[in-house]
Chains A and B, each alone.
Chain A
Amino acid sequence: MSLKHKDLTGIASLNADEIMQILETADSFKEVTGREIKKVPALRGKTVVNLFFEPSTRTRTSFELAAKRLSADVINFSPSNSSVVKGETLLDTARNIEAMQADIIVLRHSSAGAAETLARGVKSSVINAGDGWHEHPTQALLDLFTLREKKLELKGLKVAIVGDVAHSRVARSNVYALTKLGATVRVVGPPTMMPACVERLGVKVYYDLDLGLRDVDVIMMLRLQLERQGRALFSTIREYSRLYGLTPERLKLAKPGALVMHPGPINRGVEIAPEIADGFSSVILDQVTNGVAVRMAVLYLLSGAGH
């Protein structure tokens, strides 16, 4: 069993069946991660390169664990201590890696489209681990996996995505994934943080968090990127937190038993109250656990290991 694509550059290029195929494959790998010996030989002899131009601990570690549990050889490549500083282009860096017989390149880059640009230029499979504001497909897949695990039925599920939607690859990928599987999606945030024509993505827009949270089944909080202050996108952290922070009172506006998600890392007390992050509504840590299984599934399916 394998995906018909060479690469996974975004949810936009997957249909609902392919998404389900990945989630179902992840089911079996989740079982592996629960074993005593957390290893299967599926990718033995294959080389996976983590090419991270942007710093990241959790995603990179997650991919590294996933590849190692599949018995692949893993190389971590962070350009700060390499030839990119000497002016080598993205494509040349990748071609050099490819020349070392890398089977799969996992790319994180600050530029939207970097994964697609890379995928077109190398024969290796490319997995997008986050390209600028564009997409973070494995995040959306693990989010869906988590919901499916807890909720079972994605069709008709009411989901609110809250925060800086315009600059969030997690939001984009989730909007695509959730709408493709029939969920009802709302985006909530200040007007300055809503992308142009966002309703045309099939979502409903709310500027008021209390209204946006009413009766939802799932609340997906996005991290406020503090470095965005100073570009007139929001006023102060204090104001942002008062208007768009998830508090226990606001959580009550959602359906009883609503789940709270966050891609991490969280800004405690800014977009999410600590007691919620640590509370029983939160599935944030499940997301992290499931990330490894989902990434194992993606690596497995792209490597064509099923053939």
Chain B
Amino acid sequence: MNTSSHRHILIQDGHVIDPGRVNAVVDVLIEDGTIVAVGPQLLAQAKGKNTSVQVIDARNKLVLPGFVDLHVHLREPGFEYKETIKSGTAAAAAGGFTSVCCMPNTHPVNDTQAITEFILEQARTAGNARVFPVGAITKGSEGKELAEIGDLRRAGCVAISDDGQPVMNSMVMRRAMEYALAFDLPVIDHCEDLHLSEGGCMNEGIVSTQLGLQGVPAAAEDVMVSRNLALAELTGARLHLAHLSTVGAVRMVREAKARGIRVTAEACPHHFTLTEEAVRGFNTLAKMNPPLRTWDDVHAIKEGLRDGTIDVIATDHAPHAGQEKQQEFAAAPNGIVGLETAFPLTLALVEEGILTLEAAIEKLTAAPAKAFSLSNGSLAVGAEADVVIVDPHETWEIDPSRFRSKSRNTPFAGWKVKGRVRMTLLRGRIVYQAEEPLQ
């Protein structure tokens, strides 16, 4: 299919879900990269204006806003052997994501305007997805001195985080939250008390006991969630809690929201799909931070998604090279890729009755956009055409060798899942198209 010559695209007869706006079988008309109409029978309107219109048949497919991932690691600059901005955004497009926020734990850390601009330039050149950098909270993410947050904002950062690390010093975190108010920037914390988690490489529980591995107790996360909520209350800052994984964290966020504290929270597909049991056999593909926990925690995450305590689904896409994960368990780095597996795992929540289809889509589109004040994530008339077309019925097998990402570190290899991204459009241009189903 010729991607460059068609400036005008009609997506026809798809089930369009634009959470809060549209949930019906209608057409979407795109002209020059912008959505000009969403409604029934737009073919005449399309043909009327333009001689050359590409018609995409979306019968039995869902037509959705391109997904927005608030938490990915693109690894560039510094770790290009794991992933580059080009390969990471290609993976994003393959997973239906048209916007990603990349974390600053690159090398060097993204704590300056120069690095932010470099990232944006690489993303522009690659042209696979929008990249919204997250800047560091502190210089070098060392947790001591504030980074030039004003500069980072001006350069294009949409939030700040020392991700990979928590900000351990509560006084520094307080000041960061206050300072960020001047720029209306969300402050993201990776909630982990490093003293409680020290040496740990999986959840503390029966599996860590049986495997003889040092565990990280749920309390290591809960302690920092509690601290951050108290600081958010004190400062009035926009707090965003990354990758929640425990019963306690969900409970505290629910209670804080009920009291009117400004907090948004995210959960990753692996934390609502897998437990610590996946680590058995010392499976490094199940090693991540925060770790996979128990069924009680999984149920709490699902309940949090259902009742809105958890606003957003994000992937924490964390590519690592093969040889890095092939080490002894304690030595292997934390994290799994997630961009290309997120959609079917999210759809599984709909199958289970945890979320309605519209609510699930909202967690991937409107909600993340709102959390970070991004203008993308909708199919509103006048919006730039970031669209994903998915087949919610297609079953397929997750095959890491076919990933667009440079890395293959996923525990979901070989899983038969339902829900496949068929096409992704960025600004009205096709940036990903699936090969035909193998059946």
A contact residues vs B (CB 8 Å cutoff)? 12, 89-91, 109, 111-114, 116-117, 121, 131-135, 166, 169, 172, 195-198, 200-201
Contacts and interface: CB of A to CB of B under 8 A. Distances in A.
Interface stretch (B33-41, B66-74, B323-331): B323-331
B212 A91 contact: no
A198 B212 CA distance: 11
Contact of A197 (B209, B211, B213, B330): B209
Contact of B215 (A90, A114, A117, A196): A196
Q: 5 tightest CB-CB pairs across the interface, nearest first?
A: A113-B282, A134-B212, A111-B328, A133-B212, A195-B209
B386 interface: no
A169 B326 contact: no
A172 B212 CA distance: 8
A251 B122 CA distance: 72
Contact of B211 (A113, A121, A201): A113
Given A112-B282, A113-B282, A116-B282, A169 B328 contact: no
B5 interface: no
Given A112-B212, A169-B212, A196-B208, A132 B330 contact: yes
Contacts of B328: 90, 109, 111-114, 117
B210 A201 contact: yes
A112 B206 CA distance: 15
Nearest to A109: B328
Contacts of B209: 166, 195-198, 200-201
Interface string B325-342: 011111100000000000
26 contacts: A89-B326, A111-B328, A111-B331, A112-B282, A112-B330, A113-B211, A113-B329, A113-B330, A117-B282, A117-B326, A117-B327, A117-B329, A131-B212, A132-B212, A132-B213, A133-B212, A133-B214, A134-B212, A135-B212, A172-B212, A195-B208, A196-B204, A196-B205, A196-B215, A197-B206, A198-B209
Interface string B294-329: 000000000000000000000000000001001111
A166 B210 CA distance: 10
B48 interface: no
B353 interface: no
Contacts of A166: 209
A91 B329 CA distance: 13
Contacts of A91: 326-327
B36 to A, nearest CB: 56
B281 interface: yes
A118 to B, nearest CB: 9
Contacts of A172: 210, 212
A197 B208 CA distance: 9
A89 B212 contact: no
Nearest to B209: A195
Given A113-B211, A113-B328, A133-B214, 8 more contacts: A113-B330, A117-B326, A117-B328, A134-B213, A195-B208, A196-B204, A197-B205, A200-B209
A194 B306 CA distance: 37
Nearest to A135: B212
B345 to A, nearest CB: 26
Tell me which of A109, A114, A198 has the highest count of chain B C-beta atoms within 10 A of its own C-beta.
A114
Nearest to A169: B212
A112 B211 contact: yes
Most chain B C-beta atoms within 10 Å of own C-beta, residue among A90, A112, A116, A198: A112
Contacts of A132: 212-213, 330
Contacts of A133: 212-214
B327 A12 contact: no
Contact of A134 (B204, B211, B323): B211
A196 B206 contact: yes
Residue among A116, A166, A195 with the highest chain B CB neighbour number at 10 A? A195
Nearest to A90: B328
Contacts of B208: 195-196
